[in-house]
Amino acid sequence: MASLVQELIEAGIHFGQRRSNWNPKMAPYIHGIRNQIHILDVRESIKGLLLAKRFIEQTVGKGKDVCFVGTKRQARGAIEQYATDVGMPFVTERWLGGTLTNFRTIRERLKRLEELDRIVESGELKNYSKKMESQLLRERKKIQRNLGGVRQMTQMPGALIVVDTNREKNALLEAKSLGIPTVCLVDTDGNPDMVDIPIPGNDDSMRTIDIIVRELCDAVKKGKEGRSTSAGEAPSEKSGGREMRGEGPSDGAAPRRRSSRSRYSASAAAPVGGESAE
């Protein structure tokens, strides 16, 4: 933990925006002012990072995916690298309106991308005219650029991880309308009320973004390990439950089941037989 704190300080996570360009809602996360620049409280940054890691690990462990969003130049490289390594969807180009709220249309565009890939890989593209070939390649490139990161996202994400609340306002609003939890790296000019778990920090520093995204992806890895472990334990727990109930393995024909009506009739007939015996 000490090495992580030192690494974050060296990366400049505590440097905020100028005093004239700040959001008063970030006041609880600000330590002071130096040379007309707000200095963030590193303790709050560490607290937010640890809380976000715990939440992401639990979310991924339940079988859900998380989507990384960072369209600013400083965040693209780190998000593409780490999100690809852990197999999570990401958006590093322009956030298309309706990516979450109109997910069905996004899936249709991704199906179109798969169709174009099949045409190119099979060599069928050569049967088209030069003009049509150019149009198809241009369409394929555009869809790949805008939606390539969410190509494997077949269902709604369990959480959204965002860099810079001001730049990704549309993504946060869509997630909020659908009830999707959000984790965000928030600078002193951002609005922490827009996210569920804010991580106060410098969202203009490439090194800071790299460290934050790397730590969150480590939590994703742990969540995936927990997901596989729980999946392996489920069959044993199921068989153990059968043994505790005395069912045991079914060797041969299963016992005949009686309806509730027949059980009721049998129980009702027993006292009558008992009285006649007396």
Q: What is residue 222's predicted lDDT score, i.e. its pLDDT?
A: 92
Q: Give how far Cα 196 sits from Cα of 28, 40, 114, 177, 222, Å.
A: 16, 19, 35, 13, 21
For residues 131 and 9, membership in a common domain is answered with no
Q: What is residue 244's predicted lDDT score, i.e. its pLDDT?
A: 43
Which domain covers residue 173, as residue numbers?
A: 2-100+156-226
For residues 124 and 164, membership in a common domain is answered with no
In a domain, 271, yes or no: no
For residues 206 and 108, membership in a common domain is answered with no
We report the CATH number of the domain holding residue 125 as: 1.10.287
For residues 42 and 172, membership in a common domain is answered with yes
Low-confidence ranges of the chain (pLDDT < 50): 238-239, 243-244, 249-250, 252, 259-278
DSSP, res 21: S
DSSP, res 163: E
For residues 43 and 63, membership in a common domain is answered with yes
We report the CATH number of the domain holding residue 81 as: 3.40.50.10490
Of 149, 174, 207, which residue sits at a domain end? 149
With DSSP H G I counted as helix, E B as strand and the rest as coil, what are the percentages for the chain, rounded to 5? 60, 10, 30
**Number of domains observed in the structure of the chain:** 2
In a domain, 86, yes or no: yes
Q: What is residue 85's predicted lDDT score, i.e. its pLDDT?
A: 93
In a domain, 232, yes or no: no
Of 116, 133, 149, which residue sits at a domain end? 149
In a domain, 198, yes or no: yes
pLDDT digit string (tens) for 168-205? Answer: 999 999 999 999 999 999 999 999 999 999 999 999 99
For residues 37 and 92, membership in a common domain is answered with yes
Of 149, 177, 208, which residue sits at a domain end? 149
Q: What is residue 28's predicted lDDT score, i.e. its pLDDT?
A: 92
Q: What is residue 77's predicted lDDT score, i.e. its pLDDT?
A: 92
In a domain, 249, yes or no: no
For residues 179 and 91, membership in a common domain is answered with yes
